[in-house]
Amino acid sequence: MASRSSTRTARLAVLAACTALAALAACTSAGTRSAAPARGGAAGPGRPAAPAPYGSPAPDRAGFATEVDPAVDPQSTFGMDVDTASYGYARNLIRQGRRPAPADIRPEEFVNAFRQDYPQPVGAGFAVALDGSRLPGTHRAAGGGDLRLLRVGLQTRAEDRETRPDAALTFVIDVSGSMADPGKLDLVQQALDTLIDQLRPSDAVAIVTFSDTATVLRPMTPVANRSALHAAVAELGTRSSTNLAAGLELGYRVARDGFRAGRTNRVVLLSDGLANTGDTAAAPILAQVREAADKQITLLGIGVGNDYGDALMEQLADHGDGYVFYVSDLAQARRIFVAQLPAALAIRALDAKVQVSFDPATVAGYRLIGYDDRALADSSFRNDHVDGGEVGPGHSVTALYAVRLRSGAFGDVAQVRIRWQDPGTREPAETGASVGVADLDGPFAQAAPGLQVCYAAAYFAEALRASPYGAEVALTDLARIAAQAADRTGDADVTELAALIHQADR
């Protein structure tokens, strides 16, 4: 997979030039990010460049993906992503009256932070749900034409925590000085104690810590010996600098030594991601992670703290056949460690990819909202040596497109294909579905509440990252849409989204 393709410098230049988030100007900037290859140059004076005419698949000069003409490139191909850290981190900062750095905003992670009601498949693989609507009347779309929303929803079958395969988990815990801040190591300790009590006696846990050096605090130990594991957690204390590379190297060595065939073998990295000793660049650390992932040891990243190395943690998870969460308080940590993690330790699909083929006869232009660093060459879709995304049991994945229809269009809009590998046999499989103009024709007010939530979350992210598409919406309208969807679903997370948008607007 390619590394994140925008620099902090370029995006901060966009922020300085853009007035789309004037309401947030009183907030203080926040967020840290590792350097990554540049995607486009800095924006010029004023707003970032408006979307290029459809027909150009290249990003605009500010680095934002533009609308694509399907007559030039009919296929949109990307690796699946179930990460949600970008939304969790932004939520934590906004609650404190701080503004997330635009480079830390990934719209797909905002969208995928919310539960969906997609049907589950009967067996392994994915169920595909496609729907859409017209845009809400408050949306001021640039470029004119008939712009619609298309939601691609993918769902894996849930797995009962009692019947899942046993797990061998190696926790790699950051105990550097920066983890002494409230809401970091103390949060990790409480969450780990809770998880150890939730795991089965037949599971196994190892604990590795790292600061300037790495140490095996506890070798692979059956969870039946809970007292020894709780004692190891109680020993955790902060010291010195952050040699994340050394921690992962030792963690993977312990995981390989304790590898159990037929079980779920995972390294779980708990860190603020602020590497400052040893290899601090992503590339050498990623090489180590990639090699270990090929040996069927997957990575789960759990980020903590107000100062958080978002880019490094996300890249590690992408290349380690895993995903990353972010937690900012004990309630969130318990939800992940107790409600989500035990039942989702296994992998349902490896190297999962999506390819959406748009019909140039009906579609004048399309734009995938987010997934900027998950884009793949169209020819890579059926190349099983090219990395995709990893999806666990009961996970939903959503991709939202803005689709510009041709005048008088009817018939098919797009064909959607999903390809993945079985995690046990590595055998590839595919499924798919199609969507037509009639499926995107309903008014937004009558659309499924899940689609309305996706729209509000996606364009909230566009506004926060100061993209030209964020200027097409008003935060007050997005907050109202989220609040109405929350009333229809009774989902407390969507209620929280509405409140968060309101707070950002203020």
The alpha-helical segments, DSSP class H, found in 359-448 are none
Opening angle at CA 60, ends 54 and 65, nearest 5 = 70
At 313 the pLDDT is 87
- Give first-to-last CA distance, the chain, whole Å: 38
At 375 the pLDDT is 94
Q: Which domains does the chain have, with CATH numbers?
A: 8-159+348-505 (no CATH), 167-344 (3.40.50.410)
Question: Number of helices and strands (H, E) in the chain?
Answer: 12, 17
Interval 431-451: pLDDT, tens: 999 999 999 999 999 999 999
At 329 the pLDDT is 82
Q: What is the DSSP letter of 297?
A: -
Interval 396-438: pLDDT, tens: 999 999 999 999 999 999 999 999 999 888 899 999 999 999 9
pTM beyond 0.85, yes or no: no
At 292 the pLDDT is 63
d(CA 283, CA 312): 10
Which residues, given as ranges, of the chain have pLDDT below 70? Answer: 1-62, 161, 279-282, 288-295, 343-344
CB distance 388 to 430 below 8 Å = no
State CA 256 to chain mean position distance. 27
At 30 the pLDDT is 44
Q: Hey, what are 111's tokens?
A: 């969208």
Contacts of 378 (CB under 8 A, 6+ apart): 73, 75, 77, 355
Interval 166-217: pLDDT, tens: 899 999 999 999 899 888 899 899 989 989 998 999 999 999 999 999 999 9
d(CA 178, CA 19): 34
Cβ atoms within 10 Å of 288's Cβ, excluding its own:
18
